[in-house]
A = this chain, B = another copy of it.
Amino acid sequence: MNDLQIANSVAPRPIQEIAYRLNVPPDTLELYGKYKAKLPIELIDEEKVQKGNLILVTAITPTPAGEGKTTVTIGLNDGLNRLGKASVAVIREPSLGPVFGMKGGAAGGGWSQVIPMEDINLHFTGDFHAIEKANNLLSALIDNNIQSKTRNLGIDPRTVLWKRSMDMNDRALRNVVVGLGGKTGGIPRETGFNITAASEVMAILCMSKSLEDLKERFSKIFIGDRFDGTPVFASDLKAEGAMATLMKEAIKPNLVQTLGHNPAILHGGPFANIAQGTNSIIATKMGLSLGDFVVTEAGFGSDLGAEKFFNIKCRQAGLSPKAVVVVATIRALKYHGGKPLKELTSEDVFALENGFPNLQRHLDSVRSFGIPVVVAVNVFNSDTEAEKKRILDYCREIGVPAALSEGWAKGGEGCEGLGQLVVEAAESCTNRFSPTYALEDTVQEKIKKVAQTIYGASDVVLSQTAQSQLKKIEKLGLSQIPICIAKTQKSLSDNEKLIGRPQEFTITIREFEIAAGAGFLIPIAGEILRMPGLPETPSAESVDIDEKGVISGLF
């Protein structure tokens, strides 16, 4: 059975039943069909938030297929519930782009999925659409003002950094010229589209603590400059009220269930290579308010999602995890050990051992935050007994608790051992986490600390462009906010070809983006695309629906 068939083989329980177990009265739910509901923000209880056990799931450097972080998150959540813990999985919503591109769905896999899988991978409750509309309303207001005769703010079209967004892998929209067609068509200018998951509106949603905060952040969005060099913000266009109105429902987290009928909250979905890579602060707090454990994930390896999870999200929201799970796969370790991608399914203990330094580096990074660590070995059918034994032995040697995670094949039952280790780790944790840098550090210091402590780099170089942008950032008074480095997920370095554990490398910051509303700066290391393209054979070609509404090809 493929993922879609497995998902459809389990009859979901009415979402009211799942909510009831979390002590959420049915009347406070806003239903979207029978199996999805929005939770009102008023259910957040700050006292419970502080007491709860927040568990972060991160990973080693992934192969292109991903290491199954979401699968482990969902399986672990079901495992914890089987152990009698009131646990809630809190994860990101999938983007439509990959669904019709290469990767397929993003709601877990095998027997560790959230359902209704089809809805979640299609429009779900419309959050991405709302984000896109809020984003693009601001764009329309900008171009309308540039064209305006009576109310022109003097925006210099060449300086406008704000782009439109679309939740689609569409490379042709990456760089466009708009406003063509003569006088009635606007003022021509170069611009582009970001995929919605990479938009600042998405980042803002995930950083906001309330509707008021959301609106305030919208008002602070930096658009570009006037011809006289002064900055223009979204508030200058009176955009924030209408943008927040469009987000009225999108700000509320979504409740669904796992295949084990345990609660899962999905909310927000910024990518981790080009944005902060973790679900909304509101959703995480909601999970902690309703359960005793929250299992959450942050995208790609710990150098991307986890670093941002701690230094941006936890710091801003006043959260502190009780344990971190690092997901490793035997496949990926062999890949980092030098085995070619196509041969990863054949046994190779030597290559596996050669991959250990990558795991070691991620463990070191995560330990730098001062929180207990557990390794989850996400099991694939092709893994051999000898390989499984070797990785578990290695973890014992270096003194890290480790367990096989068999959520894909067995659901929650396959994650009970992992769950037990996580509970023990959480119980042992008495610290709050320590961040990698202080907000008062200069921007360059911040980048350097992340590059050295987390990536294992020797130094950081800023391009000429980046250096002059830094002056602009200082002028705007934005030096004392966190950084959200955009970097390839394929390597600990900024060069995707350096797999394993790269040594003696420097990180080059090509340029900065300013996400003043989200409240962070985006130093861009290397070439990172904020609008993906479709592959030669898009998966859209095999997605189909029959006359009865039965979908195929979506997995």
Question: Residues of B contacting A168 with CB < 8 Å?
Answer: 133, 136-137, 140
Question: Residues of B contacting A164 with CB < 8 Å?
Answer: 173
Task: State whether B172 touches A122 (Cβ < 8 A).
Answer: no
Query: Residue-by-residue, is A157-192 near B (CB-CB < 8 Å gives 1, otherwise 0)?
Result: 000000010111111111111111100111100101
Asked if A86 is at the interface of the complex by the 8 Å CB criterion, the answer is: no
Asked if A51 is at the interface of the complex by the 8 Å CB criterion, the answer is: no
Asked if A381 is at the interface of the complex by the 8 Å CB criterion, the answer is: no
Asked if A364 is at the interface of the complex by the 8 Å CB criterion, the answer is: no
Task: State whether A174 touches B185 (Cβ < 8 A).
Answer: yes
Task: State whether B211 touches A547 (Cβ < 8 A).
Answer: yes
A81–chain B nearest beta-carbon distance, Å = 27
Task: State whether A533 touches B144 (Cβ < 8 A).
Answer: yes
Question: Residues of B contacting A553 with CB < 8 Å?
Answer: 241
Query: Residue-by-residue, is A532-545 near B (CB-CB < 8 Å gives 1, otherwise 0)?
Result: 01101110111111
Question: Residues of B contacting A175 with CB < 8 Å?
Answer: 179-181, 185
Chain A stretch 109-127: residues in CB contact (< 8 A) with chain B? 118, 122-123, 126
Asked if A239 is at the interface of the complex by the 8 Å CB criterion, the answer is: yes
A483–chain B nearest beta-carbon distance, Å = 26
Chain A contributes a number of interface residues (CB within 8 A of B) equal to: 80
Asked if A230 is at the interface of the complex by the 8 Å CB criterion, the answer is: no
Task: State whether A176 touches B184 (Cβ < 8 A).
Answer: no
Task: State whether A144 touches B534 (Cβ < 8 A).
Answer: yes
Question: Given A126-B129, A172-B143, A545-B248, A540–B242 Cβ distance below 8 Å?
Answer: yes
Question: Given A169-B140, A170-B140, A245-B554, A536–B210 Cβ distance below 8 Å?
Answer: no
| Complex Cα spacing A336 to B21, Å | 64
| Complex Cα spacing A185 to B171, Å | 6
Question: Given A248-B545, A545-B211, A171–B147 Cβ distance below 8 Å?
Answer: yes
Task: State whether B176 touches A172 (Cβ < 8 A).
Answer: no
Asked if A335 is at the interface of the complex by the 8 Å CB criterion, the answer is: no
Task: State whether B123 touches A249 (Cβ < 8 A).
Answer: yes
Task: State whether A176 touches B174 (Cβ < 8 A).
Answer: no
Among the stretches A25-33, A58-66, A265-273, A513-521, the one at the interface with B is: A25-33
Asked if A475 is at the interface of the complex by the 8 Å CB criterion, the answer is: no
A552–chain B nearest beta-carbon distance, Å = 8
Asked if A34 is at the interface of the complex by the 8 Å CB criterion, the answer is: yes
Asked if A139 is at the interface of the complex by the 8 Å CB criterion, the answer is: yes
Asked if A202 is at the interface of the complex by the 8 Å CB criterion, the answer is: no
Question: Residues of B contacting A187 with CB < 8 Å?
Answer: 172
Closest to A243 in B: B540
Question: Given A141-B538, A176-B180, A245-B554, A33–B33 Cβ distance below 8 Å?
Answer: no
| Complex Cα spacing A57 to B151, Å | 40
A277–chain B nearest beta-carbon distance, Å = 23
Question: Residues of B contacting A139 with CB < 8 Å?
Answer: 170, 172
What are 14 A-B contacts with C-beta separation under 8 Å?
A: A32-B33, A122-B248, A141-B540, A143-B172, A171-B184, A172-B179, A172-B186, A174-B180, A176-B180, A211-B549, A239-B541, A241-B553, A242-B541, A242-B544
With A140-B534, A150-B536, A172-B185 already in contact, 7 other A-B pairs whose C-beta atoms are closer than 8 Å: A31-B32, A32-B33, A137-B168, A141-B538, A151-B537, A174-B180, A245-B543
